[in-house]
Amino acid sequence: MQYFKHIELDGWRGPAIKIHKYVRDNTHIIKDGAFWNILSRDKHAYCYEQLDPVFTRAGFNLLRISFLVLWGDESTIHQDRDVFPGFPERIARINIPILNCEHSETRFYSTINNNPIVKTLPNGITYTHHEAEDVRVEAAVTVSKPTVIRVRELHSVVNHAKIYPRIALTCAVDPDPVYLLEEN
């Protein structure tokens, strides 16, 4: 199984720089220490205006963007639930590096002992968490450029540099970019 794939997303760097500045100017977006911070299209139109043309040129409709903010050394080992009204659940999303991603990696796991724990974040997002002794690392990637991530598989983010916060955007798009992971 292919868990991730770096992709060419023409023109992504300019918007990523502008969104990084937007976060610096609006730190309340990430201040609560939450790992997953959904950006609504109405409140954060600027971010969508930056990314919509990039995804449209690549043949995608941008549904939702969220900041993934790592404030510590490692996130939980988890499976995302990605339900967007009117669309089927996303199996994969496109992640874009914003800040301090170059010394971190997203690790993918298989289960040794299937003992999932269902958790709900304060923002209402539900996910499945596993303990480290119940999994085995299968693959890892550094999100140094746009990367398709298979979010329904167990994964975590590990920050090796201990430079915080580590911020990436995760973008839910239509069609689901999982087909890019299924190509030869």
What integer pLDDT is reported at residue 134 of this predicted model? 93
What integer pLDDT is reported at residue 37 of this predicted model? 83
Query: What mean pLDDT do residues 25-47 have?
Result: 86
Beta pairing, strands 4-6 & 155-159: unpaired
Contacts of 132 (CB under 8 A, 6+ apart): 77
Per-residue pLDDT at 28 exceeds 90? no
- More confidently predicted of 125 and 180: 180
CA distance 136 to 112: 7
With contact defined as beta carbons under 8 Å apart, do 100 and 164 qualify? yes
Q: Please give the domain boundaries of the chain with CATH numbers for all domains.
A: 4-181 (2.60.120)
What integer pLDDT is reported at residue 25 of this predicted model? 94
**pLDDT digit string, tens, across residues 74-95:** 999 998 876 666 667 899 999 9
Residue closest to 112 by CA, chosen among 139, 128, 138, 133: 133
CA distance 1 to 11: 29
Mean pLDDT score across all residues of the chain: 91
